[in-house]
Amino acid sequence: MKSSISSVLAIVLGLGLASGNSAWAQPTAAPGEAGEAYQGMPAIAPMGVRVDRYLPVPNSAAVPPVDPAKGYRLQELGHGLYMVTDNAYQSMFMVYDKGVVVMDAPPSYSAHLKQAIAEVTDRPITHLIYSHAHIDHIGGAADLGGHPIIVAQEETKRLLERSNDPKRPVPTVTFKDRYTLKVGSQVLELSYHGNAHEPGNIFIWAPAQKVLMVVDIVFPGWMAWSGFADAQDIPGYFNQVAEIDKIPFETLVSGHVDRVGTHADVREQLEFMNDVKSATRTALQTTPPYVGMADADKTNPWAVADNYIDRVVVKCVDAVTPKWQSRLAAYDVFIWSQCFAMQQSLRID
C-alpha cells in the first residue's frame, strides 16, 4: 500500500518523492492531538505559533517617521511628482498645469490624500490611475471626491465590475497593453506585463522623473508579503521582478512599505527568491515520504502529502534563514509562507 500511495501522490500532486522505505516513528499523541515537532524545526516560529516578539527591523529599513497629526508623509520625487505614504502603503500624485493625476488611493490614508496634495497645489484632481483592483490600494478612491477620469488596464475593469464596490469606481478609460497619458507637459506611460500578483497589475513609468511605480511586486529592504505577495502566478511574479530591473528607473515606488526602492533592492529580492526556489527544489528531491507517520495514516494520501509538504517547507526555511534573517525586515513574519508557496508552485506550475 505504501508504494501505491507514493505513486498516486507522485502523479497527482507532483511530489517528486524519494525512493525506498523510510524509517518512521510511532506518534506520541492521540489521533487529532498535536504531537512532537518535525525533526530539525527552525528556531523561527511557524505559522499559527504565537511569539513574544518578532525579529527587530534592520536599521537599513529605517525611514523618516510619519507625523501622527497628519497621518502621512510626503516625499518629492522631482518635476511635479510626489509620493504619499504612511510608512506601510505608498501612492503617488503628479501635478501639471491644469490639475493633478493621482496614482492609487490606499484607504489607510485616503482621507488625507487631498490634504497632502493641498500642501503642493490647489489644482483639482483630474485623473486617477489604478495600479490594480485590490481594495487595500484603491479602496479610498471615493474619498477623493469629484469625477476624475479613472484609467486602468482592462482586466482591472473586469474585476471591479464583478466586485461592484462603490468604494472602487469602475474605470472610465481602459487599455490592453500600453497607454500613454499626456497632461500638459507631463507624461505617464502605463504598460501591462501579464498576470503575476493579479490580472491587471500595471507598470507606471514617469520618464522625465525616471520613477517607476509597480505595486505588490518588490518590497525594498523587506520580506515580501505572504506567499510572494499573494501572487496568483508565481513564475510570472519571478519574471516581473527581473523585468523591473531592466527598466532604467532611478526611483521605484512599490506600493509598500516605508521607503522608495533602487535597483539594488530589486536584485536583492530576486536573489532571495532564487535562494528560496533552489532550497525548495532540493528539499522536494531529497525529502522521503512517511517519516513520523502512524501506519494507519499511510493509506491516507492527503495526510501523506501534508506530512511530506510540511517537512519540505521546514528544510527550505532551515536552508535560507542563516543568510537572510538579518538582511530583510520582517523576515520571520512571512518566510514560512514563502517556502510553502514555492513548493506549491514547483510541484504544480
Contacts (Cβ under 8 Å, ≥6 apart) of 310: 38
Q: In this predicted model, what pLDDT tens digit does every residue of 61-111 receive, in sequence order? A: 578 899 999 999 999 999 999 999 999 999 999 999 999 999 999 999 999
Q: Check residue 320 and give its pLDDT.
A: 97
Query: How many structural domains are present in the chain?
Result: 2
**Pair (252, 321) in one structural domain:** no
Q: Check residue 33 and give its pLDDT.
A: 62
Q: Check residue 40 and give its pLDDT.
A: 78
Which of 203, 230, 258 is where one domain is finished? 258
Could you give the count of Cα atoms lying within 13 Å of 316 in the half-sphere of its Cβ? 32
Q: Check residue 22 and give its pLDDT.
A: 35
- For the chain, which ranges sit under pLDDT 70? 1-35, 59-61
Burial of 254-274, coded b for 16+ CB within 10 Å and e otherwise, reads bbbbbbbbeeebbebbbebbe
The angle that helices 301-324 and 331-348 make with each other, rounded to 10 degrees, is 130
Domain span holding position 319: 2-22+35-56+274-348
Q: Check residue 60 and give its pLDDT.
A: 55
| Residue 236 is assigned to a structural domain of this protein | no
How far is 24 from 291, CA to CA, in rounded Å? 5
Q: Check residue 23 and give its pLDDT.
A: 33
**Pair (140, 250) in one structural domain:** yes
**Pair (285, 191) in one structural domain:** no
C-alpha cell at 323: 543568510
Q: Check residue 3 and give its pLDDT.
A: 53
**Pair (72, 120) in one structural domain:** yes
Measure CA 118 to chain center. 31
Q: In this predicted model, what pLDDT tens digit does every residue of 141-155 receive, in sequence order? A: 999 999 999 999 999
CATH classification of the domain holding 209: 3.60.15.10
**Pair (122, 185) in one structural domain:** yes
> Could you tell me if 293 and 303 are in contact, meaning their C-beta atoms sit under 8 angstroms apart?
yes
| Residue 27 is assigned to a structural domain of this protein | no
Q: Check residue 142 and give its pLDDT.
A: 96
**Pair (248, 131) in one structural domain:** yes
